Copies of this chain bind each other. A is one copy, B any other.
Amino acid sequence: MNQQRDPKLPLLAVLMAGGGGTRLWPLSRPAQPKQFLPLIGGRSLFQLTVARLREILPLENIFVVSNSQLMPMIRSSDAGLPQENLLCEPSPRNTAPAVAYALAVLRTRFPRFVMACLPSDHYIADTKQYLALVQAARSLAGQGYLVTLGIEPTAPATGYGYVEQGDRLDSVDGLPAFRVRRFQEKPTAEEAKTMLAQGGFSWNSGMFFWRSDVLEEEFRTQQPAIAQALERMAGLLERKDGEATWKAVWETMPVLSLDYGILEASDRVAVLPARGLGWTDIGSWDALVELYQAHPELRGDAPGGVIDVGSQSVTVIRKTDSRRHLATVGLRDVIIVETDDAILICQRGKSQDVRKIAGML
């Protein structure tokens, strides 16, 4: 492993924007997933993710991997990304093939770089701290580590994977860093409590940083089928008649996540634990409502046509210009979400079951 610093390597951000969640049904749909919903003061998490990165990166350094269904939404967003930075997956194969594809494309433009592989559907309150962490992660990745940003747990959550800290590394830009001892998939409530009590665990944010050559090497040693496909794609991507062929190559790759395919078995993974970042993946209506209650200014304009008598802690999410009456009487801790073709009425604390609704439809 090349542990020497290489601060001159460019940082390229690859945003994962192909996900089609069901947890914010009925607002999120396959054709309008969470990252493109105007959840934060009328702006989308995708827009906010690009805006955060724009503070330290030129647009040319920001890439998006998504699918053909969502590309029009990305193009019409005001993010302003160059057309050639929008990478379209032929079909969904999870994150490992998506990142291999991005690596194949980015290598044609940059000989060597640090790649930040980032979800586009998370909310981060403290941009300044976030950017400091990105720079620290970039430095650590420059040393040859596969770096994950960890989020210090504030509760024994069962909806996230966890990262256990191992040996302490030298601080980076004054921030503590650790080797990763192990990854723990979404735990039971019991396991989560134990980890929280024990300390030294972070939530796995899914924000990864690595050097291009280090990632290539990991693919070669751990996922040779992907490494081979990556090389074939790289050649085909430069040929005008290569499209049909590279799509066929794409289909040869396993459906595999980066976590499972690369990170869990690698011996050079590091974690930068972040505290007080104000991070949330808004993985449920409960999470969004908690965010709105903590920061009312994020909500944007009030929904239209809502009347209440005697309810407590009811959140209504519907269009601001709704004129159809929506009346609530005596409710407590309820979330109501209305779209043109559906209405959800959900008890707070139960919104993890919303995905079952989407599954039933």
Interface residues of A (CB under 8 A from B): 25-26, 307, 309-311, 324-332, 334, 336, 338, 341-347, 349-351, 353-354, 356-357, 360-361
Measured CB to CB, the closest approach of chain B to A310, in angstroms, equals: 6
Contact B357 A309 (CB under 8 A): yes
Contact A327 B309 (CB under 8 A): no
Q: Tell whether A343 pairs with B324 under 8 Å between CB atoms, given A309-B353, A309-B356, A310-B350.
A: yes
Contact B325 A341 (CB under 8 A): yes
Measured CB to CB, the closest approach of chain B to A351, in angstroms, equals: 7
Chain B residue numbers with a CB within 8 Å of A341 are: 324-325
Chain B residue numbers with a CB within 8 Å of A344 are: 327-329
Q: Give this chain's copy count.
A: 2
A128 to B310, CA, bound (A): 42
Contact A326 B309 (CB under 8 A): no
Greatest chain B CB density within 10 A among A343, A344, A360 is at: A343
A354 to B347, CA, bound (A): 21
Contact A347 B327 (CB under 8 A): no
A353 to B325, CA, bound (A): 16
Q: Tell whether A345 pairs with B361 under 8 Å between CB atoms, given A309-B356, A310-B353.
A: no
Measured CB to CB, the closest approach of chain B to A267, in angstroms, equals: 43
Contact A331 B329 (CB under 8 A): no
Contact A26 B327 (CB under 8 A): yes
Residue of B nearest to A354 (CB): B329
Measured CB to CB, the closest approach of chain B to A344, in angstroms, equals: 5
Chain B residue numbers with a CB within 8 Å of A354 are: 309, 327, 329
Greatest chain B CB density within 10 A among A310, A350, A360 is at: A350
Q: Tell whether A329 pairs with B310 under 8 Å between CB atoms, given A341-B324, A345-B334.
A: no
Contact B350 A345 (CB under 8 A): no
Chain B residue numbers with a CB within 8 Å of A338 are: 343
Contact B345 A331 (CB under 8 A): yes
Measured CB to CB, the closest approach of chain B to A182, in angstroms, equals: 34
Chain B residue numbers with a CB within 8 Å of A349 are: 330
Contact A327 B307 (CB under 8 A): no
Measured CB to CB, the closest approach of chain B to A343, in angstroms, equals: 5
Contact B346 A325 (CB under 8 A): no
Chain B residue numbers with a CB within 8 Å of A332 are: 347
A109 to B9, CA, bound (A): 104
Contact A357 B329 (CB under 8 A): yes
Contact A345 B325 (CB under 8 A): no
Chain B residue numbers with a CB within 8 Å of A336 are: 345
Residue of B nearest to A349 (CB): B330
Chain B residue numbers with a CB within 8 Å of A307 are: 357, 360-361
- Of the candidates B326, B331, B346, the one whose C-beta lies within 8 Å of that of A343 is B326
Chain B residue numbers with a CB within 8 Å of A334 are: 331, 334, 345
Residue of B nearest to A360 (CB): B307
